[in-house]
Amino acid sequence: MILDAVGIQKILPHRYPFLMVDAILEIDRLKRIVGVKNVTINESHFQGHFPGAPVMPGVLIIESMAQTGGLLLLQEVPDREKKLLYFVAVDGARFRRPVVPGDQLRVEMKVLSWRGDFCKLEGKATVNGQLAAEATLMCKMVDREVVAKAEKSAK
């Protein structure tokens, strides 16, 4: 393991209950990253999705992919505590098998392009070697300060 939950939280701004990556297993700087999400029944979304037949929501699988990719990108940003990564697009999302409590979601993200503040990543999520989901994600890096000012002016 390259990063555990404590190390991940030093890089990502996400916290429980919205931290969707538990460990990083592999990193090839600027190219790819492999992380894992341990899916447990005590996660709050399983109370309603679905009672008696819990399935991890697809949007949370995509979020796990985004956070894993975000770890790869933010490691390269010297002032990352002043930055946020925003989704700008999700393309080609496909869900191939349900992800249920007890599964370990293995997320592999590859950088397709990274120009300035924009990045495009290709991701695959598997469980026991079986493809669970895949998508292409695009994100934009923004300054936290600019976001905070815009929120204040909108009020």
Catalytic residues: 49
Q: Please compute Rg for the chain using Cα positions.
A: 16
* 3-class SS of residue 104: strand
Give the β-pairing of 118-127 and 130-143: antiparallel
- DSSP for residue 63: H
Distance CA 88, CA 121 (A): 12
Burial class (CB in 10 A: 0-12, 13-18, 19+), 53: exposed
